[in-house]
Amino acid sequence: RSIPGDLAASLELYNKNLGLEYITGYVVEYALSVDNIFVMVLLFTSFGIPERYYHKVLVWGILGAIIMRFLFIFLGATLIAKFGWILYVFGAFLVFTGVKMFINRNQDEEVDPQNHPVVKFASRYFKVTPKLDGGHFFHVENGVKYMTPLFLVLLVIEFTDLIFAVDSIPAIFSVTKDPYVVFFSNIFAILGLRSMFFLLVNIIHKFQYLKVGLAFLLVFIGLKMLLHHWLAEVGFTTTHSLIVIVGILVLSIIASLLFPKKAEPTD
């Protein structure tokens, strides 16, 4: 056996594993971010934002998400490298989040713009106007610059994305410890999801069991992090994780199609 041959085989295996980790991370982030679509639609509606301005908010939201995810991911990678035990903290948190999501799966989310902490903070320290000024984030009147509802909804979406990142980023670290794989799978999943925002908005309500699937997905990933040493010993690989994750999502979609949500009776 030659050294170049062994090196080539090792590189091929390394690249294959990286590819699987990227795909798995992408699927995890995409699936968990779908739940974010529900919240975005609710926020746009609550703030009274016309649909023609959605795209502008989404574009700026993506830029903010890229910066926040970059900081979160490399902070997480640094913590994991220095404190290996933090994986157990992430795992326990994801199991807790998954159980909580399952328990609250049928609760309707509500948003009161005036009482949202981000809006309260902005109203306290900056000038805010309740009136939209076309597609502008700011409105100038008598030389004074005011934040419009369009900018406020952008701030709230960024804050919401920050909360979602607390779940999704530890979840991807269960698949790979490579910060670059985590970052790019995360970002491309967000880009793919938000580019399909207007399509998903019209069909997402049909998948009533999706939240159940996401709850099981979080619990599975959390348990995988808690049991990672034992799973490594029994030969549980990234391929197995991908099969389980895709299986959970496919089953939740099939269940939603087979048992559609009954239409609420109208008075």
* DSSP letter string, 51-95: GGGHHHHHHHHHHHHHHHHHHHHHHHHHHHHH-TTHHHHHHHHHH
* Average pLDDT score, the chain: 80
> What pLDDT score was predicted for residue 109?
63
Which structural domain range is residue 101 located in? 3-258
Decide if 263 is inside a domain.
no
Decide if 252 is inside a domain.
yes
> What pLDDT score was predicted for residue 251?
92
Q: Into how many domains does the chain fold?
A: 1
Decide if 265 is inside a domain.
no
Q: 153 — phi, psi (to 5°)? A: -70, -30
Decide if 264 is inside a domain.
no
Decide if 84 is inside a domain.
yes
What average pLDDT does the segment 187-205 reach?
Answer: 77
- Check residue 107 and report its DSSP letter: P
Decide if 54 is inside a domain.
yes
Decide if 266 is inside a domain.
no
> What pLDDT score was predicted for residue 110?
64
Nearest to 147 by CA among 172, 125, 167, 163: 125
> What pLDDT score was predicted for residue 70?
87
Burial class (CB in 10 A: 0-12, 13-18, 19+), 53: middle
Decide if 175 is inside a domain.
yes
The pTM assigned to this predicted structure is: 0.77
